[in-house]
Amino acid sequence: MASIYELELKAWETFLANLFRDVGIALYYISIAVLTVYAIWYYSSILSFFSFKLRNNPNNTGNGTHRKEYYPRVAIVVPVYNDYEAIHTLQKNLELDYPNYIIVVVDDSTDPTISAEISKLALRSGGRLIHIKRYERRGLKAGALNTALQALEKHSPEYVMILDADFELPRDMLKKYVDIAIETGADVVQGHQRHSKGSETLFGILYRAAQAGAIIFMAGREVDEMFPIFTGSCALIRYELFKDVLFREGSLAEDLRWTIDLLKTRKKLNYFATHNLYANGSVPKSQKAFIRQQIRWSFGTLREFLSTFLDVVLDRDIDLSHKLGYILHGLFYTQGIFVYIATFIPPILSTLFGVGLGLVWPMGVYVWLIGIESLVIAGCVIEGYGVGNAFVVAGNALLFIYYTSIIHAYGTLKALASKNLEWRVTSKRGRYERLYKD
């Protein structure tokens, strides 16, 4: 006959096993619900892009027919921190076919070679390139952007274009940005971060297609009147907006935080996103660089969301659709956790407890995966990929999604456990890739 101790132990084992089973089932259904919401968002954005945005894109190519001889002053702001690609891209951006622009470079580089090359370009530019050297990297990228914006007060630009150091504009692209800004009356014109440099490898092809999918996603959600976002680069913004709101210094997601702060101030933002406007950037040089980049994005996004959540959701002047978009964007990278829960908990429950979820699994995961893969394939379309590359992307997208999801899961957990994360430049492919250190 079993002792009281053995009976109590057996009861506790049964209780804990049932608790583990019930928690697992609850987590699974929560994950499926979350992934289904995101899948619907992806499908809606794709449909909005191809059914409305693509057909009704104002001045689809930005040909300048409405502007006549009006060229508003544009300041291109480029923050540089040990980014060697800037040496090449700044030279290219000094050759734009637009008569009324300046480039302001805020240089936080610790490598004197970069600073020396930028200084040479500034001296030869006839005043078109302004080089601001900072010896303390106060405020990270946000601090550099604020330094540039404050320096622009005496130059009185009408628009500010923000570019990362590795992005270069085609010669006629600034005209096209200005054309569409004038025609739509947009406060923010968000272009496509087109990662064409170094995209010849399998990883490069996938990365470029995924980033193209991102601009489709942004353009589609604009049509759906969801939360708009400036994505940190390749955007033309009215200078007057920065008189109301500067970047939050020290933030790892300064673009998201600026959009949130601006939305709380303005409530309504005339925002326009399009794939027809773009700058050519570089694919990350290595997997180590890519992983660091993705961790930074997932960490920074969740931290800014957690720090602003109550302010936004309790603000009665912000539209419900914007609040919903804000929540979905703020929790965007948590999908990395949910997809692994939804994938692995069912077989675990089945093995340990004989719990079968029938057709619910794996269909619940597939709905989400097809949504993500549809965005990536749509990215192939706007990048003009041939049939061969499109098949390569389609065949490898599933592995790429699960690969990035585990990185995002790590970044999400790190954001919940820690307030700090070291920021390092993302080493890039291109003519200077040998100089980057991982």
Domain range summary for the chain, segments of one domain joined by +: 74-283
pLDDT at 434: 80
Is residue 436's pLDDT more than 90? no
The top-level CATH class assigned to 74-283 is alpha beta
Is residue 3's pLDDT more than 90? no
Is the model more confident about 55 or about 375?
Answer: 375
Mean pLDDT of 49-60: 68
Strands 235-238 and 159-162 come out as antiparallel
Out of 65-69, 187-191, 199-203, 319-323, least confident range: 65-69
Out of 61-70, 299-308, 309-318, 425-434, least confident range: 61-70
Out of 4-18, 113-127, 273-287, least confident range: 4-18
Mean pLDDT of 211-217: 92
Match 């993705």 to its residue by tokens. 294
Strand order across the 101-107 sheet: 129-133, 101-107, 74-80, 159-162, 235-238, 188-197, 271-282
Mean pLDDT of 52-65: 57
| pLDDT tens figures, 334-343 | 999 999 998 8
Q: How many CB atoms lie within 10 A of CB 244?
A: 10
In the chain, the amino acid numbered 340 is Y
Q: What is the DSSP letter of 168?
A: B
Closest alpha carbon to 208 in 382, 58, 44: 382
Phi-psi label, residue 64: left if phi above 0, alpha if psi -120 to 50, beta otherwise: left
Is residue 207's pLDDT more than 90? yes
Helices first, then strands: H and E counts in the chain: 13, 7
Q: pLDDT category, 172, cuts 50, 70, 90?
A: very high
> Does residue 232 sit in helix, strand or coil?
coil
Is residue 66's pLDDT more than 60? no
Q: pLDDT category, 61, cuts 50, 70, 90?
A: very low
Element (H, E) at 195: strand 188-197
Is the model more confident about 391 or about 411?
Answer: 411
| pLDDT tens figures, 344-367 | 888 887 777 776 665 555 566 888
In the chain, the amino acid numbered 203 is F
pLDDT at 263: 87
Question: Which tokens hold the place of 359?
Answer: 């057709």
Computed over every residue of the chain, the mean pLDDT equals 88
Listing DSSP states for 6-47 in one string gives HHHHHHHHHHHHHHHHHHHHHHHHHHHHHHHHHHHHHHHHHH
Mean pLDDT of 140-153: 94
pLDDT at 55: 63
- For the chain, the C-alpha Rg in angstroms (whole number) is 24
Closest alpha carbon to 361 in 341, 346, 383: 346
Is residue 93's pLDDT more than 90? yes
What residues have CB less than 8 Å from 421, skipping those under 6 apart?
A: 252, 295, 296, 299, 300, 414, 415
Is the model more confident about 436 or about 359?
Answer: 436
What value, to the nearest 5°, has the Cα angle with vertex 328 and ends 327 and 330? Answer: 60
Is residue 143's pLDDT more than 70? yes
Q: How many CB atoms lie within 10 A of CB 182?
A: 19
Percent of the chain whose predicted confidence (pLDDT) is above 90: 60
DSSP H helices in 74-225:
86-93, 112-124, 140-151, 173-184, 202-223
Is residue 54's pLDDT more than 70? no
CB 52 within 8 A of CB 223: yes
pLDDT at 356: 67
Match 């990215």 to its residue by tokens. 379
Is residue 70's pLDDT more than 80? yes
Out of 117-126, 162-171, 281-290, 367-376, least confident range: 367-376
* Helix 360-383 / helix 335-353 crossing angle, nearest 10 deg: 150
In the chain, the amino acid numbered 335 is Q
| Strand-pair partners of 284 | 428
pLDDT at 64: 47
Task: For residues 332 and 337, give the distance between their C-alpha atoms in angstroms, rounded to a whole number.
Answer: 11
Exposure pattern of 93-113 as b/e (b: 16+ CB <10 Å)?
A: bbebebeebbbbbbbbbeeee
Is residue 409's pLDDT more than 60? yes
Is residue 59's pLDDT more than 60? no
